[in-house]
Amino acid sequence: MKLQEPSVESSGSTFTPLVVLELTLDAKEEAVAWLLSRIRDPQQNGGAELLVEQLGPGVGLQEKENPNMFLVGASRQRLLSGAEDVGLFKEFNDGSMRGFTCSNKHNFKDFQGDGDNFLSMAECQYIIKHELDTLRAKDETHVPGYTQTKLYPGKSIIRRLLSKGILIQIFPLHENEELKRLCFTWYKKVKLSLQPLDDIRHYYGEGQALYFGFLEYFTFALVPMALIGLLYYLFDWEDYDKYVVFAMFNVIWCTLILELWKRFSASLAYNWGTLSRKKAFEEPRPGFHGVLGFNPVTGRQEPLYPNAKRQLRIYLVSLPFVLLCLYLSLYVMMIYFQMEGWALTVHDEDPTFWTGILLFIPSIIYAIVIEIMNIIYRCAAEFLTEWENHRLESSYQNHLVLKVLIFNFFNCFASLFYIAFIMQDMVLLRQSLATLLITSQILNQFMEAFLPYWLQRRRNKKLIRKLRKRRTLEDKELPLAEQVRLEADMSTYLGTFDDYLEQFLLFGYVSLFSCVYPLSAVLVVLNNITEIYSDAFKMCRVFKRPFSDPAANIGVWQLAFEAMSVIAVVTNCALIGMSPQVKAYFPESEMQLILWTVAIEHGLLAFKFILTFLIPDVPKHIQIKLSRLEFESLEALKKKKMLEASEFSKSVQ
């Protein structure tokens, strides 16, 4: 979806549309005029000093089009000053990554001439989004034309308009030629090579690239386990006694891959300039509300909400609700076991081919119910977390992740733990794990790949038919107006939350119980290969382009995976202790077996935590580069202070 030739402003500066603002169809004219003037106003007057134009009419007049769609861009100099404002890191001439400054711009690699191609389109769009987000009310008491939509000095204008529904959406535009090249190297040809992570980062930003980097890394890390599991399946499938070695391999594997991932992600983040980038000051999230007060940190007015009141909501409402949901999940699990017992009874009375098929039906139904319960609970968790009224987006995300992880872990794995350690039925455990894993993967592929594509095709069917009368959609350029309206109707990408959650659950299936069902790693590898292609397709063809997220790591999900690896150590040690092969060494004393199992489990946990200290999170050569940069910054600051002191002493004399 290539952007059209740039128009020219009356001032003579070239305008390349980068971001789209869509206001509601019935937005008041005075509100629209006020917003546009604030976007165009110079920075010294409290504006964003950006370029903005109204979108022209599209092809044909059969459908009612929203006239309140505006294209936002910026001059080259404004983008460069914005890059300095957001603390963008770029590669210096000596190969190190340094914070960009306009005064030092010619010392940065790839800065040539006026710096036309110095910033990627994703970086330009991120800068514009940052400038729009920091556009603040001055002395306005309300949005013009909307007396009920209150404003106060320092309030983010864009956040207020979004929360009140006056601004429908804000999204960055795709760039057709670059997108075509990315599609071809990413998913349009079947290949054994690695993903183009640098190209993904260049187009979508670091947050997306880190997710796909983790997905690729996790898939490759599973290959040794998949190969060992395949050998077990081919030669020792029914011999559970031999799975002790596989369980021991699981314990070491789940620790090593997470530690090595931290080093790999640190290398990626350094090369992309986000490892040492300072975290931006977090503003209150759009949905946050409270009594207007004074923030002593920013010196601005903003809503204040008592933390004690929020804690009461968490512990008196949210926590009991989560516990109730866990109880309901437990109740559904017991119904599943009753169904399993009934199926076994029917099969034992008359063992036929069809009763053999019947044995898998309860697990399939249970797997589908688990997915439905996860979806319903997710909606409830989002509502509750919103109701808790967290001030910062990071706090909101952490509480939401915690709620969702606890329920999903219990809902997906409780039955397997019950079968393994209460019933101690390894045959049923193997059957249940296989059925749950395969069914959940089929459902996820349907929900994540086929359904979004089908819904998007339905939504845009009329527009696509209309455009094809004029030109071929895939091969010819669209007029800018049609590109924008087509992208405005595309689904909004909601972030990597669900993607990481899926990988977290798959990591759990593999690390916890794969010694009982060795083919689980093989299935997860196949799932992740299709996941890479389906996610790539969705990003390029189904969703709007998301704004770049300058992430340095995978955030709270790293802690989630590490917590799962600790549980995996305990689980695999318990499975080893339960195996007949190990029990044979303790024929007379079960207590001795338990004590030895607990001792080994504690020893392995200690080894795991020692390993985390022995393997540095950041590779040595990157640590040296960061230390050198810090030293040079301190030296430069020292010289600056000495120069200022010298000039001051001269002026005094």
Whose tokens are 């199992």? That residue is: 597
At residue 105's C-alpha, the angle toward residues 103 and 107, to 5°, is 115
In degrees, rounded to 5, the angle at the alpha carbon of residue 500 between the alpha carbons of residues 498 and 505 is: 95
Nearest to 549 by CA among 280, 342, 285: 280
Where helices occur in 541-589 by DSSP H, the ranges are: 556-578, 580-583
Question: How far apart are the C-alpha atoms of 486 and 542, rounded to whole Å?
Answer: 11
Q: Running along the chain, 653 residues long, what does each successive block of 10 average in pLDDT?
A: 42 73 90 92 88 74 73 91 86 81 84 82 91 86 87 83 89 90 83 82 92 94 89 67 74 88 91 78 73 75 85 93 94 90 83 80 88 91 92 88 93 91 86 88 79 67 57 58 84 88 93 86 91 88 88 90 91 84 78 86 85 83 81 74 71 65
Instruction: Characterize the bridge pairing of strands 301-304 and 291-294.
Output: antiparallel
Three-class DSSP category at 52:
strand
- Per-residue pLDDT at 6: 45
For helices 197-204 and 121-133, what crossing angle results, to 10°? 30
- Please give the torsion angle defined by the CA atoms of residues 371, 374, 379 and 383, in that order, rounded to the nearest 10 degrees: 180
CA distances from residue 122 to 29, 79, 179, 202, 618 in whole angstroms, order as listed? 31, 12, 12, 7, 26
* Res 168: pLDDT: 92
User: How many Å apart are CA 68 and CA 78, to the nearest integer?
Assistant: 25
Q: Which residues contact 529 (CB under 8 A, 6 or more apart)?
A: 219
Can you give the pLDDT at residue 36? 92
Whether the Cβ atoms of residue 48 and residue 39 lie closer than 8 Å to each other: yes
Name which of 131, 129, 95, 128 is nearest 110 in CA terms.
Answer: 95
Closest by CA to 519, choosing from 123, 159, 146, 222, is 222
SS3 of 333-350: the string is HHHHHHHHHHHHHHHHHC
Are 363 and 436 in contact by the 8 Å Cβ rule? The answer is yes
Q: Which amino acid is at 56?
A: G
Sign for the CA dihedral angle at 312, 313, 319, 321 comes to positive
Instruction: Give the closest residue to 321 by CA, choosing from 404, 212, 417, 204.
Output: 404
Contact (Cβ atoms closer than 8 angstroms) between residue 132 and residue 115: no
Residue 17's DSSP bridge partners are: none
Instruction: Calculate the alpha carbon distances from 306 to 292, 295, 303, 313, 433 in Å.
Output: 12, 13, 10, 11, 46
- Dihedral of CA 466/469/470/473: which sign? positive
138 token code pair:
């001055």
List phi, psi (to 5°) of 183: -60, -45
**Tally of CA atoms within 13 A in the half-sphere of 195 that contains its CB:** 26
- The CA distance from 650 to 256, in Å, is 61
C-alpha closest to that of 111 among 66, 76, 86, 155: 76
**pLDDT at residue number 316:** 93
Q: Which residues are bridge partners to 8 per DSSP?
A: 14
623 burial class (0-12, 13-18, 19+ CB within 10 angstroms)?
middle
The two tokens of residue 224 are 């040794």
Q: Which two tokens stand for residue 76?
A: 């080259």
